[in-house]
Amino acid sequence: MNQPALLNKDGTGISLSVSDIALLWDEQSRCIDSGYIYPGRRRLEASDREGFAKLMGTQLTEMCTKAGSPCFDFDIRLGESVMRGAGRRVAGGKVDIFLRHNRPLPAPDLETLIGPAYAEVLMAPKLCGGGIVIVCGETGSGKSTTMARMVIDRLTKFGGVAHGFGYPLEYLISGEHGMGVCYQVETSDDELALQLKHVLRCMPVATAGILFINEIRDAEAARNMFTAAQNGFLVVFSMHSHGITAALQRLLIFFGQDSLPHYRSVLGDTLRLVVYQRLRRHQPKAISPSLLFDSGSANELRVSVEVELLYSNPDEHAIGEIIRSGRIMELSNLISAQNNRLRNRDSINGL
Protein backbone atom coordinates (compact mmCIF):
# COMPACT_ATOMS: atom_id res chain seq x y z
CA MET A 1 0.00 0.00 0.00
CA ASN A 2 1.27 3.49 -0.83
CA GLN A 3 2.11 5.43 2.32
CA PRO A 4 1.29 9.14 2.50
CA ALA A 5 4.10 11.68 2.69
CA LEU A 6 3.85 14.04 5.66
CA LEU A 7 4.66 17.30 3.88
CA ASN A 8 3.60 18.63 0.50
CA LYS A 9 6.17 18.83 -2.30
CA ASP A 10 7.23 22.38 -1.41
CA GLY A 11 7.48 21.65 2.30
CA THR A 12 5.11 24.55 2.98
CA GLY A 13 2.31 22.55 4.57
CA ILE A 14 0.92 19.11 5.40
CA SER A 15 0.28 16.85 2.41
CA LEU A 16 -3.35 16.68 1.33
CA SER A 17 -3.09 12.87 1.50
CA VAL A 18 -2.61 13.08 5.28
CA SER A 19 -5.86 13.07 7.25
CA ASP A 20 -4.55 12.83 10.83
CA ILE A 21 -1.35 12.98 12.85
CA ALA A 22 -0.91 11.32 16.26
CA LEU A 23 2.04 12.50 18.38
CA LEU A 24 3.54 11.78 21.77
CA TRP A 25 5.03 15.09 22.89
CA ASP A 26 7.74 15.31 25.56
CA GLU A 27 7.07 18.48 27.57
CA GLN A 28 10.48 18.50 29.25
CA SER A 29 12.63 18.18 26.11
CA ARG A 30 10.00 19.96 23.98
CA CYS A 31 10.23 17.52 21.12
CA ILE A 32 8.26 14.68 19.50
CA ASP A 33 8.86 11.39 21.28
CA SER A 34 7.04 9.32 18.66
CA GLY A 35 4.20 9.65 16.20
CA TYR A 36 2.13 8.27 13.34
CA ILE A 37 0.42 9.70 10.28
CA TYR A 38 -2.83 8.47 8.74
CA PRO A 39 -4.38 6.92 6.72
CA GLY A 40 -2.27 3.78 6.87
CA ARG A 41 -0.67 4.41 10.28
CA ARG A 42 2.88 5.14 9.14
CA ARG A 43 5.47 5.88 11.81
CA LEU A 44 7.02 9.36 11.77
CA GLU A 45 10.66 9.06 10.72
CA ALA A 46 13.47 11.45 11.66
CA SER A 47 13.08 13.37 8.37
CA ASP A 48 9.35 13.76 9.04
CA ARG A 49 9.99 15.16 12.50
CA GLU A 50 12.53 17.67 11.20
CA GLY A 51 10.13 19.02 8.59
CA PHE A 52 7.22 19.01 11.02
CA ALA A 53 9.25 20.86 13.67
CA LYS A 54 10.19 23.53 11.12
CA LEU A 55 6.52 24.15 10.29
CA MET A 56 5.42 23.97 13.89
CA GLY A 57 7.94 26.39 15.41
CA THR A 58 7.00 27.03 19.05
CA GLN A 59 3.23 26.67 18.61
CA LEU A 60 2.83 23.24 20.15
CA THR A 61 5.03 24.12 23.12
CA GLU A 62 2.94 27.25 23.73
CA MET A 63 -0.34 25.32 23.42
CA CYS A 64 0.74 22.72 25.97
CA THR A 65 2.09 25.40 28.34
CA LYS A 66 -1.13 27.44 28.25
CA ALA A 67 -3.42 24.45 28.77
CA GLY A 68 -4.35 24.25 32.43
CA SER A 69 -6.39 21.05 32.29
CA PRO A 70 -5.40 17.42 31.61
CA CYS A 71 -7.38 17.49 28.35
CA PHE A 72 -7.54 20.46 25.99
CA ASP A 73 -8.53 21.46 22.44
CA PHE A 74 -6.79 23.87 20.11
CA ASP A 75 -6.30 24.94 16.49
CA ILE A 76 -2.85 25.18 14.97
CA ARG A 77 -1.46 26.50 11.67
CA LEU A 78 1.38 24.55 10.10
CA GLY A 79 2.55 26.59 7.13
CA GLU A 80 -0.32 26.56 4.62
CA SER A 81 -2.22 23.93 6.59
CA VAL A 82 -4.76 24.41 9.39
CA MET A 83 -5.26 21.57 11.86
CA ARG A 84 -7.56 21.13 14.84
CA GLY A 85 -5.98 19.45 17.82
CA ALA A 86 -6.79 17.63 21.02
CA GLY A 87 -4.27 17.08 23.78
CA ARG A 88 -4.19 14.80 26.82
CA ARG A 89 -1.50 14.67 29.47
CA VAL A 90 -0.30 11.12 30.15
CA ALA A 91 2.30 9.53 32.43
CA GLY A 92 5.99 10.40 32.26
CA GLY A 93 5.63 14.09 31.47
CA LYS A 94 4.24 13.36 28.01
CA VAL A 95 1.29 14.80 26.11
CA ASP A 96 -0.75 12.67 23.73
CA ILE A 97 -1.59 14.94 20.75
CA PHE A 98 -4.08 14.22 17.97
CA LEU A 99 -4.25 16.54 14.94
CA ARG A 100 -7.02 16.49 12.30
CA HIS A 101 -6.14 18.04 8.95
CA ASN A 102 -8.67 20.60 7.64
CA ARG A 103 -8.42 19.58 4.02
CA PRO A 104 -10.30 20.73 0.92
CA LEU A 105 -13.52 18.87 0.24
CA PRO A 106 -12.60 15.45 -1.16
CA ALA A 107 -15.34 15.32 -3.80
CA PRO A 108 -16.11 17.88 -6.53
CA ASP A 109 -19.90 17.61 -6.16
CA LEU A 110 -22.68 15.69 -4.42
CA GLU A 111 -23.10 13.27 -7.31
CA THR A 112 -19.49 12.16 -6.96
CA LEU A 113 -19.77 11.94 -3.19
CA ILE A 114 -23.03 10.02 -2.69
CA GLY A 115 -24.25 9.10 -6.17
CA PRO A 116 -26.66 10.81 -8.60
CA ALA A 117 -29.92 9.41 -7.19
CA TYR A 118 -29.20 10.51 -3.64
CA ALA A 119 -27.71 13.81 -4.79
CA GLU A 120 -30.99 14.58 -6.58
CA VAL A 121 -32.82 14.40 -3.25
CA LEU A 122 -30.34 16.70 -1.47
CA MET A 123 -30.64 19.14 -4.38
CA ALA A 124 -34.45 19.06 -4.56
CA PRO A 125 -35.94 22.50 -5.43
CA LYS A 126 -38.66 21.95 -2.81
CA LEU A 127 -36.02 22.27 -0.09
CA CYS A 128 -35.73 25.97 -1.00
CA GLY A 129 -38.89 26.44 1.06
CA GLY A 130 -36.96 25.63 4.23
CA GLY A 131 -37.11 22.90 6.84
CA ILE A 132 -34.88 20.56 8.83
CA VAL A 133 -32.14 18.43 7.24
CA ILE A 134 -30.24 16.06 9.54
CA VAL A 135 -27.00 14.42 8.45
CA CYS A 136 -26.24 11.60 10.87
CA GLY A 137 -23.75 8.82 11.35
CA GLU A 138 -20.95 7.63 13.54
CA THR A 139 -17.75 9.55 14.25
CA GLY A 140 -15.63 9.94 11.13
CA SER A 141 -18.38 8.93 8.70
CA GLY A 142 -18.09 12.08 6.58
CA LYS A 143 -21.08 14.02 7.92
CA SER A 144 -19.34 17.41 7.69
CA THR A 145 -18.18 16.62 4.14
CA THR A 146 -21.73 15.92 2.97
CA MET A 147 -23.09 19.03 4.73
CA ALA A 148 -20.46 21.34 3.23
CA ARG A 149 -20.85 19.84 -0.23
CA MET A 150 -24.65 20.19 -0.04
CA VAL A 151 -24.40 23.85 0.99
CA ILE A 152 -21.95 24.70 -1.80
CA ASP A 153 -23.94 22.90 -4.49
CA ARG A 154 -27.26 24.41 -3.43
CA LEU A 155 -25.81 27.94 -3.31
CA THR A 156 -24.29 27.42 -6.75
CA LYS A 157 -27.57 26.18 -8.25
CA PHE A 158 -30.22 28.18 -6.38
CA GLY A 159 -28.34 31.20 -4.98
CA GLY A 160 -29.15 32.57 -1.56
CA VAL A 161 -27.22 33.18 1.65
CA ALA A 162 -25.78 30.51 3.95
CA HIS A 163 -24.47 30.93 7.48
CA GLY A 164 -22.34 28.23 9.08
CA PHE A 165 -21.55 27.85 12.77
CA GLY A 166 -19.26 25.57 14.73
CA TYR A 167 -16.01 25.12 16.55
CA PRO A 168 -13.80 24.10 15.02
CA LEU A 169 -14.87 24.64 11.40
CA GLU A 170 -13.93 21.45 9.59
CA TYR A 171 -14.14 22.93 6.10
CA LEU A 172 -13.59 26.56 5.19
CA ILE A 173 -16.21 27.28 2.50
CA SER A 174 -16.83 31.00 3.10
CA GLY A 175 -17.19 33.12 -0.01
CA GLU A 176 -19.21 33.25 -3.20
CA HIS A 177 -20.56 30.10 -4.84
CA GLY A 178 -22.36 30.87 -8.08
CA MET A 179 -25.08 33.41 -7.27
CA GLY A 180 -24.94 32.52 -3.58
CA VAL A 181 -22.65 33.46 -0.71
CA CYS A 182 -21.57 31.66 2.46
CA TYR A 183 -20.49 33.13 5.79
CA GLN A 184 -18.90 31.03 8.53
CA VAL A 185 -18.46 31.88 12.19
CA GLU A 186 -16.46 29.97 14.79
CA THR A 187 -18.75 30.04 17.79
CA SER A 188 -19.28 28.13 21.01
CA ASP A 189 -22.57 26.54 22.03
CA ASP A 190 -23.12 29.41 24.48
CA GLU A 191 -22.89 31.99 21.69
CA LEU A 192 -25.04 30.15 19.15
CA ALA A 193 -28.36 31.71 20.21
CA LEU A 194 -26.94 35.23 19.82
CA GLN A 195 -25.48 34.41 16.41
CA LEU A 196 -28.80 32.99 15.20
CA LYS A 197 -30.67 36.05 16.43
CA HIS A 198 -28.33 38.23 14.38
CA VAL A 199 -28.83 36.08 11.26
CA LEU A 200 -32.63 36.20 11.55
CA ARG A 201 -32.53 39.99 11.73
CA CYS A 202 -30.10 40.44 8.84
CA MET A 203 -31.51 37.98 6.29
CA PRO A 204 -32.41 39.67 2.95
CA VAL A 205 -36.10 39.53 2.01
CA ALA A 206 -37.23 36.88 -0.50
CA THR A 207 -33.82 35.19 -0.44
CA ALA A 208 -33.22 31.49 0.14
CA GLY A 209 -31.49 31.08 3.50
CA ILE A 210 -29.41 28.16 4.75
CA LEU A 211 -28.12 27.61 8.27
CA PHE A 212 -25.67 24.80 8.94
CA ILE A 213 -24.06 23.79 12.19
CA ASN A 214 -21.47 21.14 13.03
CA GLU A 215 -23.56 19.36 15.63
CA ILE A 216 -26.64 19.82 17.81
CA ARG A 217 -25.60 19.14 21.41
CA ASP A 218 -28.38 20.53 23.63
CA ALA A 219 -32.04 21.55 23.86
CA GLU A 220 -31.38 25.26 23.37
CA ALA A 221 -29.55 24.68 20.09
CA ALA A 222 -32.34 22.36 18.94
CA ARG A 223 -35.02 24.95 19.79
CA ASN A 224 -33.10 27.60 17.83
CA MET A 225 -32.87 25.32 14.82
CA PHE A 226 -36.62 24.60 14.95
CA THR A 227 -37.38 28.34 15.15
CA ALA A 228 -35.21 29.07 12.13
CA ALA A 229 -36.84 26.26 10.13
CA GLN A 230 -40.30 27.60 10.97
CA ASN A 231 -39.11 30.99 9.70
CA GLY A 232 -38.28 29.52 6.28
CA PHE A 233 -34.59 28.66 6.62
CA LEU A 234 -33.19 25.39 5.36
CA VAL A 235 -31.48 24.20 8.55
CA VAL A 236 -28.78 21.56 8.07
CA PHE A 237 -27.04 20.01 11.06
CA SER A 238 -25.26 16.82 12.03
CA MET A 239 -25.85 14.29 14.79
CA HIS A 240 -24.09 11.18 15.98
CA SER A 241 -26.36 8.15 15.64
CA HIS A 242 -26.52 4.59 14.37
CA GLY A 243 -29.44 5.20 12.02
CA ILE A 244 -32.24 7.49 10.89
CA THR A 245 -34.85 6.62 13.51
CA ALA A 246 -32.17 6.74 16.22
CA ALA A 247 -31.26 10.30 15.15
CA LEU A 248 -34.89 11.46 15.35
CA GLN A 249 -35.32 9.87 18.77
CA ARG A 250 -32.09 11.41 20.04
CA LEU A 251 -33.14 14.86 18.85
CA LEU A 252 -36.43 14.64 20.74
CA ILE A 253 -34.70 13.39 23.91
CA PHE A 254 -33.33 16.92 24.36
CA PHE A 255 -36.82 18.00 25.45
CA GLY A 256 -38.61 17.07 28.68
CA GLN A 257 -41.83 15.09 28.78
CA ASP A 258 -43.96 18.21 29.25
CA SER A 259 -42.76 19.83 26.01
CA LEU A 260 -42.22 16.61 24.02
CA PRO A 261 -45.64 16.62 22.27
CA HIS A 262 -45.06 20.20 21.10
CA TYR A 263 -41.64 19.49 19.64
CA ARG A 264 -42.79 16.23 18.06
CA SER A 265 -45.37 18.34 16.25
CA VAL A 266 -42.78 20.93 15.22
CA LEU A 267 -40.43 18.21 13.97
CA GLY A 268 -43.25 16.57 12.05
CA ASP A 269 -44.07 19.89 10.37
CA THR A 270 -40.49 20.95 9.55
CA LEU A 271 -38.55 17.74 8.85
CA ARG A 272 -37.57 17.46 5.20
CA LEU A 273 -34.66 15.06 5.06
CA VAL A 274 -32.52 12.73 7.18
CA VAL A 275 -29.30 11.38 5.67
CA TYR A 276 -27.51 8.51 7.40
CA GLN A 277 -24.09 7.55 6.16
CA ARG A 278 -21.23 5.28 7.06
CA LEU A 279 -17.81 4.58 5.63
CA ARG A 280 -16.80 1.20 4.27
CA ARG A 281 -13.09 0.42 3.90
CA HIS A 282 -12.02 -1.99 1.18
CA GLN A 283 -8.80 -3.72 0.25
CA PRO A 284 -7.25 -2.68 -3.10
CA LYS A 285 -9.46 -3.54 -6.09
CA ALA A 286 -12.11 -5.03 -3.77
CA ILE A 287 -14.75 -2.38 -4.38
CA SER A 288 -17.09 -2.75 -7.33
CA PRO A 289 -18.60 0.14 -9.32
CA SER A 290 -21.62 1.58 -7.50
CA LEU A 291 -23.52 4.75 -6.74
CA LEU A 292 -21.16 5.46 -3.88
CA PHE A 293 -18.10 7.69 -3.67
CA ASP A 294 -14.81 5.74 -3.88
CA SER A 295 -11.84 7.63 -2.48
CA GLY A 296 -8.87 5.45 -3.27
CA SER A 297 -6.65 4.55 -6.19
CA ALA A 298 -6.16 0.99 -7.38
CA ASN A 299 -3.23 0.28 -5.05
CA GLU A 300 -4.51 1.91 -1.84
CA LEU A 301 -6.92 1.06 0.93
CA ARG A 302 -10.14 2.51 -0.40
CA VAL A 303 -13.12 4.13 1.30
CA SER A 304 -16.68 4.32 0.02
CA VAL A 305 -19.60 6.27 1.47
CA GLU A 306 -22.77 4.27 1.97
CA VAL A 307 -25.93 6.35 2.25
CA GLU A 308 -29.49 5.82 3.45
CA LEU A 309 -32.08 8.58 3.67
CA LEU A 310 -35.62 9.54 4.59
CA TYR A 311 -37.25 12.27 2.50
CA SER A 312 -40.40 14.00 3.74
CA ASN A 313 -42.10 15.68 0.80
CA PRO A 314 -43.51 19.05 1.98
CA ASP A 315 -46.59 18.48 -0.20
CA GLU A 316 -47.46 15.27 1.64
CA HIS A 317 -48.08 14.65 5.33
CA ALA A 318 -47.70 10.91 6.00
CA ILE A 319 -44.21 11.07 7.53
CA GLY A 320 -45.04 14.18 9.54
CA GLU A 321 -48.13 12.50 10.98
CA ILE A 322 -46.12 9.44 12.06
CA ILE A 323 -43.62 11.69 13.87
CA ARG A 324 -46.32 13.83 15.49
CA SER A 325 -48.00 10.74 16.90
CA GLY A 326 -44.73 9.41 18.35
CA ARG A 327 -44.56 6.31 16.11
CA ILE A 328 -41.03 6.95 14.86
CA MET A 329 -40.04 3.26 14.68
CA GLU A 330 -42.80 2.78 12.10
CA LEU A 331 -40.72 4.84 9.68
CA SER A 332 -38.42 1.87 9.07
CA ASN A 333 -40.57 0.41 6.29
CA LEU A 334 -40.82 3.79 4.54
CA ILE A 335 -37.05 4.22 4.78
CA SER A 336 -36.48 0.80 3.19
CA ALA A 337 -38.97 1.50 0.40
CA GLN A 338 -37.50 4.92 -0.44
CA ASN A 339 -33.93 3.64 -0.55
CA ASN A 340 -34.82 0.61 -2.66
CA ARG A 341 -36.23 3.01 -5.24
CA LEU A 342 -33.16 5.23 -5.10
CA ARG A 343 -30.80 2.27 -5.50
CA ASN A 344 -32.77 1.37 -8.61
CA ARG A 345 -32.11 4.97 -9.75
CA ASP A 346 -35.75 6.00 -9.54
CA SER A 347 -36.46 9.73 -9.55
CA ILE A 348 -37.18 11.70 -6.41
CA ASN A 349 -40.70 12.09 -7.78
CA GLY A 350 -41.33 8.45 -6.90
CA LEU A 351 -40.63 8.95 -3.20
pLDDT tens for 31-50 read 889 999 987 788 988 888 88
What's the pLDDT at 350? 62
Q: Please give the angle made by the CA atoms of 255, 162 and 252, to the nearest 5 degrees.
A: 10
Confidence of residue 303 (pLDDT cuts 50, 70, 90): low
Q: 22: part of which helix (H) or strand (E)?
A: strand 20-26
What's the pLDDT at 121? 96
* HEC secondary structure over 162-213: EEEEECCCCCCCCEEECCEEEEEEECCHHHHHHHHHHHHHHCCCCCCEEEEE
What's the pLDDT at 351? 66
Strand-pairing partners, residue 76, are 83
* Mean predicted confidence (pLDDT) in 295-311: 68
What's the pLDDT at 194? 82
Report which of 17, 35, 11 is spatially closest to residue 98, judged by C-alpha positions: 35
The pTM of the whole model exceeds 0.85: no
Q: Cis omega before residue 4 (within 30°)?
A: no
What's the pLDDT at 318? 93
Give 94-143 pLDDT, tens digit per residue.
Answer: 999 999 887 767 667 898 889 899 999 999 999 999 999 999 998 878 89
Most confident of 11-15, 191-195, 245-249: 245-249
Other Cβ atoms less than 10 A from the Cβ of 131: the count is 21
Residues, the chain, total? 351
Q: 110: part of which helix (H) or strand (E)?
A: helix 110-114
* Mean predicted confidence (pLDDT) in 273-283: 83
What's the pLDDT at 292? 44
What's the pLDDT at 302? 55
CA dist 245 and 253 (Å) reads: 12
Give 211-233 pLDDT, tens digit per residue.
Answer: 998 888 888 888 888 999 999 99
Average pLDDT, the chain: 85
CA dist 350 and 154 (Å) reads: 22
What's the pLDDT at 73? 84
Report which of 184, 131, 183, 129 is spatially closest to residue 158, judged by C-alpha positions: 129
Q: Order of strands across the sheet with 131-137?
A: 175-177, 180-186, 160-166, 209-213, 234-240, 131-137, 271-282, 302-311
What's the pLDDT at 171? 78
